[in-house]
Chains A and B, each alone.
Chain A
Amino acid sequence: EPEVTQTPSHQVTQMGQEVILRCVPISNHLYFYWYRQILGQKVEFLVSFYNNEISEKSEIFDDQFSVERPDGSNFTLKIRSTKLEDSAMYFCASSPIGTSGSTWDEQYFGPGTRLTVT
């Protein structure tokens, strides 16, 4: 069964450094998302991406963050100048909206990248 993949599974970085989190969404999906989850808390929406541009972003997704689809398969989240409070699990997701009857409520999540900022 197709699945969303993410690399790396765990990233440790120092405060102020830049990190790039990588995702490969399911191949025939059209919408892509990034969420984050601080340990023990709820999943928080960061950004959605469609047709090579951002379609929605949250107040968390400030100038420190950017997303890119550099080729036909990868979807990346870049965090510039990381802060301690950026430590969280980052999930990539994709949804098959556009295929028969589907909506963006049915999202398929990757296994996540645990980001630790020291």
Chain B
Amino acid sequence: GQSLEQPSEVTAVEGAIVQINCTYQTSGFYGLSWYQQHDGGAPTFLSYNALDGLEETGRFSSFLSRSDSYGYLLLQELQMKDSASYFCAVSETGFQKLVFGTGTRLLVSP
């Protein structure tokens, strides 16, 4: 089976930088993706890594180390609207599904 671990909650202030970590255990790893979910809303795709390294998309960056089974989402210049839950999700080779982590609730304060 698969398991993904994330911190349950992270707090930060506006304008700051925050990193949300994700460690995973899975066989046949294919890629790691990140989704944002506001309360009562649907998950929204943020970023995806299949290879080691950093992917940058505006204020959000995502990093993957396949050898360490570890990734993180980096959010810069935090804004109040970034307050949400963030989920990492893994896909496995040959399987058309995502397995989501337990989610990290990010609280951004003024």
Q: How many A-B contacts if CB must be within 8 Å? A: 63
Q: Which of B33, B41, B95, B101 contacts A56 (CB 8 A)?
A: B95
Stretch at the interface among B9-17, B20-28, B43-51: B43-51
Q: Which of A33, A41, A55, A112 contacts B42 (CB 8 A)?
A: A112
Interface size on A, residues (CB 8 A): 24
Q: Which residues of B contact A31 (CB under 8 A)?
A: 96
C-beta contact mask, A37-71 vs B, less than 8 Å → 1, else 0?
Answer: 00001111100101000011010000000000000
Q: Which of B33, B48, B87, B95 contacts A42 (CB 8 A)?
A: B87
Q: Which size bracket describes the interface of B in this complex?
A: 20 to 34
Closest to A108 in B: B45
| Bound CA–CA A106/B31 (angstroms) | 10
| Bound CA–CA A111/B97 (angstroms) | 19
B100 touches A42 (CB 8 A): yes
Closest 8 CB pairs of A and B: A109-B42, A48-B96, A105-B33, A43-B100, A45-B97, A105-B48, A55-B96, A42-B100
Q: Is B80 an interface residue (CB 8 A)?
A: no
| Bound CA–CA A112/B41 (angstroms) | 8
